[in-house]
Amino acid sequence: MSTSPRNPVARQLDNSFVRISQRPRAMRLTGLVIVIGACLALGLAMAIFLRAWVFAGFFGISIVGLAVYSFLTSRTTRKLVAAQSGNRIDWESALPEVQRESLNLEVLELSRILEVSSEQISDLQSAYIVAEDLALRQIQQEEQVPLLRHVSIGSVPFDAILVKQDVLICAEVAFLVAPDLRQERIDSMLRKAARVRRLIEQMNVTMTMRLMIILVTQLASEDEERLRKSISSKRFSNTPVDVDIRLLDFEALQRIYVTD
């Protein structure tokens, strides 16, 4: 039996995706300041040569103002870069085997609840994949920040991660057709969250972590109310991180993103 080699290329998740365009923007700004400074210096030299003292004073004051602006801008940029460099977390794409195992476990549980035949497993897999995709689309729409799907942080896989200001949000999706979220599923999510929180503390990263549990439901209204009561705060009273629970209706998601 052979196993696929682990991808050794680790990527870095920054506190702000603005960093992607930060360096070219800074270079353009520096070039513009140099050009303006050269023009002002040339104007000052010509004004002095022509003894146009009013213009000489204007160009001299402009040069001083440009120098002050350049200094303040440079200091602000250095602070931003320093802040971002302290908020980098190594991440990598979750291995296909890990994603497949997670999908199969969830689909197996769904098939047990629905009591479907083995011939219908593929349909359940397709439904689960669609439910997860639509749910993550909706979360990205609500949070208005970029979202990375199926990634691992410190070898801990999550369905998605996103960064909002100084908060690292690790998201897990569950598709429910019965009004209950299994306790072992909750425990698994919390264990993963605790591992990542310890990793962040060890790295001295100036970020906090939040676990987002996204429940995609296909339930009657009374069953949904039972679900809300079953996931009361008592089941999350001793969590290692803050927990954000989102309930999304599968049919509503399809109406938003699929059907006209």
Residue 152 corresponds to which tokens in the numbers above? 């691992």
Share of the chain above pLDDT 70, in %: 80
Residues 6+ apart with CB under 8 A from 29: 73
Q: State mean pLDDT over 96-102.
A: 83
pLDDT of res. 75:
61
User: Distance (Å, rounded) from C-alpha 64 to C-alpha 70?
Assistant: 10
pLDDT value at 141 more than 90: yes
More confident residue, 175 or 204: 175
Q: Mind listing the pLDDT tens digit for each residue in 102-132?
A: 888 888 788 888 777 777 888 888 888 999 9
> Among candidates 178, 154, 159, which has minimal Cα distance to 169?
159
If one compares 69 and 215, the residue with the highest pLDDT of the two is 215
The residue among 80 and 27 whose pLDDT is bigger is 27
Domain ranges for the chain, please list them: 17-85, 93-257
DSSP structure class, residue 118: G
Residues 25-54: tens digit of each pLDDT: 556 667 777 888 788 888 888 888 888 888
Round the average pLDDT of the chain to a whole number and report it. Answer: 78
Assigned CATH for 93-257 = 3.40.1350
Please check whether residue 197 is in contact with residue 210, taking contact to mean a CB–CB distance below 8 angstroms. Answer: no
Amino acid, res. 83:
A
- Phi, psi angles (nearest 5°) of residue 66: -65, -40
Q: Quote the percentage of the chain above a pLDDT of 90.
A: 22
Q: List pLDDT tens digits, range 186-214.
A: 889 999 999 999 888 887 777 888 999 99
Conformation bin of residue 136: beta by default, left when phi > 0, alpha when psi is -120 to 50: alpha
Q: Are 107 and 121 in contact (CB under 8 A)?
A: yes
- On the question of pLDDT at 7 being above 50, the answer is no
pTM score, two decimals?
0.66
Residue 13 has φ and ψ, to the nearest 5°, of: -95, 115
The three-point CA angle 113-117-118 to 5° equals 110
What does the pLDDT average to over 142-146?
A: 90
Give the helix/strand (H/E) hosting 260. none
CA 44 to mean position of chain CA atoms: 50
